[in-house]
Structures are given as structure tokens and as C-alpha cells.
Amino acid sequence: MEYVLQTNDLTKVFGKKAAVNGISLNVRQGDIYGFIGRNGAGKTTLIRMVSGLAHPTKGSIRLFESADLDIQRRKTGTMIENPAVFPHMTARQNLVYYCKLLGLDSKSKADEMLILIGLNETGKKKAKNFSLGMKQRLAIGISLLGDPEFLMLDEPINGLDPTGIKEIRELILHLNQERKITILISSHILGELARIANRYGVINNGVIVAEFTNEELEKRSSGELEIKVDNAVLAKTVISGIINEANVYTLDYNTIRVTKDIDKAGIINTELAKNGIIINSSSVVGQDLESYFMELMDATDKTYN
């Protein structure tokens, strides 16, 4: 499997604070990688380093399995923070301007892109009069002009109404499925990312605190057996002797979750007690995606603060 993006111990320090702290992540070819974290968690800083807009304090970046970033960045497109559009220009004028900067055939490329991003009927309407969703689609269109194989989108659905979110979601799915573009999309809205992403990385306080696939996310956000104990690490070892270890994970030092075979709760509790583990509570819990995300954040806040 070819990796489009690989980072190793990537760190960026501003003053005495590490905005990104030792991040190692892997984005595979064909992924829609959901990069999840609260505002200020380090998502934008990482994207800026990958795109060459910020220099790492330490660590390494590989694009398309190459360390020659000057060459490989030509195959990437990036949209960071606010849409980089000229408000007094039309959508077409914006695209023509950026085409000329890139040395592209501005007429054919701009017209093709207008159709792709669904702005081909905006005519002489100036970008300042666009909805936020339209501005976001135009910004994505600008990032696509160089025909990138890897696209990084920083909070493209932030502040959008349901219609705008739907339009961006459909565009991202089209780019990935029809144009075969690998996409990293950052957001703090896990529920929305879950509708398009196949893999996820969760960042908190500049650190990757969890990585999982869409299938693993579905398991973790459904009904699970939650056991509060005095030592979750030891409890996981004991429980893994009863059921498949892949179905057991620790949420924090005192909490363990079992995703399958939760009907074996009685056997599990008995074995834990036999091994001298104190059980404070044992119950089946269910949670939605946002609750799972907040629980991850709360657990890691306690770890790193």
C-alpha cells in the first residue's frame, strides 16, 4: 500500500509551547482521512508544515514515500483556514487569475473547474456576494487547479449551514471516488466526518491520541461493556484471556471497554475479581459519535494536563 503522507515525530514549537508535539501519522493512497480535534489542537499547524508554509522544529515529512518535498508538493493541493478568494471578482475571474499564476490554460481550465465545483451558473456575481458554502467550493476549486493527487482541506465545513455542508460533502466524495484524489480533511465535527471518511486521526493538545478506521469507530460508538477498575492495563490483560484482544481497549487508567461478547460480563467480572482487580462499576453503555469524541478529549486532557 502506497502512503501519500507520512510524518515521523513531527513537532512545531512556538515560544515554549508545542503546537504539534511528536506526531507520527500515515495517510494511505485513496483515503479520506478525517483529522479531528478541537480548535487550537494543532490541526492547522500540521497542515501548514506539510504544505511548506511552516518549518518543523523537528521531525520529518514524506510525501508519496519521498523526502524530496519540493517536487512532491507539486502533486498536492491545500485549502487552509479562510477561503483565499478575491471578493470583487467573479468565480471565473478568481479561477482565471490563479490559472495564470500556475501557467495553465486559463479559459479551458477555469470553465472545467466551474462545472466541477458547481459554480458554472454564478455568472457576473461577485465572490463577496457568495454564501460561505459557495466561497468554500471556490477555494477548493482553486486548490484543485494543479490537478493534485493529494488534497488537504482545513475545516472546509466550519460555519456552514446544512445545505453548504451537503454540497461540500458531495464534492469531496466525488473527488475521492471519481477522480481518485486522496484527501485529508480536518474538522472538529466527528459526526459529519463519519459520513465520508474511512480513516481517522484524533489530535488533542498537539498530540495524536487515537487512530482508527471507520469500522472501528462504528464499534466504539455503539453499545459496549464499560468496566471501571483500579487498574485498566492489568484488567485488559485479564479480559484478553477471555475474549479477543481486538475487542478490548482502555479509555483511561481506570476505564476499560469491551466491544463484543458483552454477554460475558459475569465471567469477565469474576475473572477480574480472582486476579485481585477492584471493580467499581460494570455496565453496558451506548454513545453517539460526538459523545465518543468528547470522551476521548476528556480522557487525554487528564493525561496531558
Query: Which element (helix H / strand E) includes 27?
Result: strand 26-28
Q: Calculate mean pLDDT across residues 217-228.
A: 78
Query: Which element (helix H / strand E) includes 239?
Result: helix 232-239
Number of H helices, E strands in the chain: 11, 14
Question: Based on the structure, what is the number of domains in the chain?
Answer: 2
Asked if 184 and 278 sit in the same domain, the reply is: no
Tell me: pLDDT of 88 over 80.
Answer: yes
* CATH classification at residue 18: 3.40.50.300
Q: What is the pLDDT of residues 25-80, one digit of tens each?
A: 999 999 999 999 888 889 999 999 999 999 999 999 999 999 999 999 999 999 98
Asked if residue 37 is part of any domain, the answer here is: yes
With b for 16 or more beta-carbon neighbours within 10 A and e for fewer, the 157-189 pattern comes to bbebeeebbebbbebbeebbeeeebbbbbbbbb
Asked if 31 and 174 sit in the same domain, the reply is: yes
pLDDT (0 to 100) of residue 32: 97
Q: What is the pLDDT of residues 147-182, one digit of tens each?
A: 999 999 999 998 888 899 999 999 999 999 999 999
Q: What is the pLDDT of residues 264-302, one digit of tens each?
A: 889 999 999 999 999 999 987 766 676 777 777 776 565
Asked if 118 and 242 sit in the same domain, the reply is: no
Give the structural domain span for 20. Answer: 3-214
C-alpha cell at 105: 490554460
Q: Give the C-alpha separation, 116 to 103, whole Å.
A: 20
Asked if residue 296 is part of any domain, the answer here is: no
CA dist 116 → 1, 102, 119, 145, 170 (Å): 29, 19, 8, 11, 11
Asked if 94 and 243 sit in the same domain, the reply is: no
State the pTM of this model: 0.77
Q: Calculate mean pLDDT across residues 209-228.
A: 81
pLDDT (0 to 100) of residue 104: 84
Asked if residue 148 is part of any domain, the answer here is: yes
Asked if residue 175 is part of any domain, the answer here is: yes
Q: Calculate mean pLDDT across residues 102-116.
A: 88
